[in-house]
Amino acid sequence: MSDPTSLTLAEARDAVRSKSLSSRELTEAHVAAVAAARPLNAFITETPERALAMADAADARIARGEAGPLEGLPLGIKDLYCTEGVRTTAGSRILDSFVPGYESTVSSQLWRDGAVMLGKLNLDEFAMGSSNETSYHGPAVSPWRRPGSETALVPGGSSGGSAAAVAARLCLGATATDTGGSIRQPAAFTGTVGIKPTYGRCSRWGVVAFASSLDQAGPITRTVRDAAILLRSMAGHDPKDSTSVDLAVPDYEAEVGASVAGKTIGIPRQYRIDGMPAEIDALWAEGVAWLKAAGARIVDIELPHTRYALPAYYIVAPAEASSNLARYDGVRYGLRVPGRDIAEMYGNTRAAGFGPEVRRRIMIGTYVLSAGYYDAYYLKAQKIRTLVRQDFERAFADGVDAILTPATPSAAFAIGEKGGDDPIAMYLNDAFTVTVNLAGLPGIAVPAGLSADKLPLGLQLIGRPFDEGTLFSLAEVIERSAPKTELPSDWWSATAPTR
């Protein structure tokens, strides 16, 4: 086989199972690709020796007829998932030397099913960001470029390393997390598929926390089928996570290609935001046409509290972050910067260990939880969150099976182009995605076309709770109908920042 990295996860699975390709050969090809693509800065930690050992063990199991669902398939792991014996940094200086003595539930399930770990992927610090520019290890870089330009583009965030690595074919798939759009937005920016499952579908145990009531694990892959395969291994009840739901995990792959005839798709008027580019609106209309041609019924719906979702999210999420990140004090693990007393040591450690965006969100969160402001900000944001959830519940009660929206308000932008002195400009990237997290619903981003600058654009499908299967069947229609968003073959020649 000329280039094993050109295979999708499903194709590689079938090749390894049929023994036309060994896991060792597949893994060696991806290890070499990771090393060659270091200018993308997609990986924080590479684990080639471990990957090859895992590949050899997978080949031995295949020879014995004991292959698991992901046997011998090389994956990347977002560096928010604790991996036993492998550095886990959360993209932060404060955890730069942290080596967990335990494995996250999700990653342990991947190894249970035979997957191979290539390494740990870059991300915004503590998953706080929409461009992967807040990482202590430097920004991950998208393999995409505007035609005729060598300007480095962001891969989205916070799961930017995951999206960049999958798009560049450095791994067959990657784990990611989504707190306000951090799976779906990077997927849309890089022409990949990303699904945020229903809250509670995947265990959060062993995943470094940002905002506990919003965080959810999920995969980024090259195709809808690949995402269905990977999610089945990632999902499942975990008694160690009190928010994990005890529901059987369906065969998601069986839903890919299923008929969508008769499904009712809602189109929310409130997602037509002021200043939305015409090409995003046109893409949305094309998505409607593709689903309608496949037999779906299209209806207009109202989600009236959508306009309040973004400000509510940027109160709730920082409030939870300020509580979760209080544990990083220099006492138990991670960075410690000495001081004259313990209070000064706390302050020195946190000032040195956290980057500007994390410090900003801790300060916002502490403020909105403080006496005199809790009712005015945090309590009001939680009430808005309830109203947002009720909007979706009414739509689904009226017979809507899924909701179609744009995934992002624009294509990828250049590194350093947004955020600088106005963090709100960066926060607006989450305009179409945060409602899904506030309501705890599943959402998938699927490639749907190219912008005028020949960069990927995606559409988002939002589903009923725990109905990821319907999303996979609908997303496959869009994937099949849309023009292909293949990464140009000469992307390697484009220049990119080095580590």
pTM for the whole structure: 0.96
Q: Which CATH superfamily is domain 13-265+400-481 in?
A: Amidase signature (AS) domain (3.90.1300.10)
Q: Phi and psi for 161 in degrees, rounded to 5?
A: -65, -40
Q: What sections of 328-422 are H helices per DSSP?
A: 342-353, 356-369, 380-397
3-state secondary structure of 245: coil
Residue ranges of the chain that CATH labels 3.90.1300.10: 13-265+400-481
Instruction: Supply 350's token pair.
Output: 């946190």
**142, 182, 244, 410: which one is catalytic?**
182
Is 158 one of the catalytic residues? yes
Question: pLDDT truncated to tens, each residue of the chain (499 aa)?
Answer: 679 999 999 999 999 999 999 999 999 999 999 999 999 999 999 999 999 999 999 999 999 999 999 999 999 999 999 999 999 999 999 999 999 999 999 999 999 999 999 999 999 999 999 999 999 999 999 999 999 999 999 999 999 999 999 999 999 999 999 999 999 999 999 999 999 999 999 999 999 999 999 999 999 999 999 999 999 999 999 999 999 999 999 999 999 999 999 999 999 999 998 888 999 999 999 999 999 999 999 999 999 999 999 999 999 999 999 999 999 999 988 999 999 999 999 999 999 999 999 999 999 999 999 988 999 999 999 999 999 999 999 999 999 999 999 999 999 999 999 866 677 778 788 889 999 999 999 999 999 999 999 999 999 999 999 999 999 999 999 999 999 887 876 676 554 444 3
Of 258, 186, 192, 203, nearest in space to 9 by CA:
192
Q: How far apart are CA 160 and CA 143, in angstroms?
A: 11
Is 182 one of the catalytic residues? yes
Of 186, 168, 193, 166, nearest in space to 77 by CA:
166
**158, 162, 233, 473: which one is catalytic?**
158
Of 63, 55, 128, 37, nearest in space to 426 by CA:
128
| 161 contacts 140 by C-beta, under 8 angstroms | yes
What is the H or E stretch that residue 402 is in?
strand 402-406
Residues comprising the chain, all counted: 499
**22, 23, 78, 322: which one is catalytic?**
78
3-state secondary structure of 81: strand
Is 78 one of the catalytic residues? yes
Handedness of CA 142, 460, 81, 6 (dihedral sign): negative
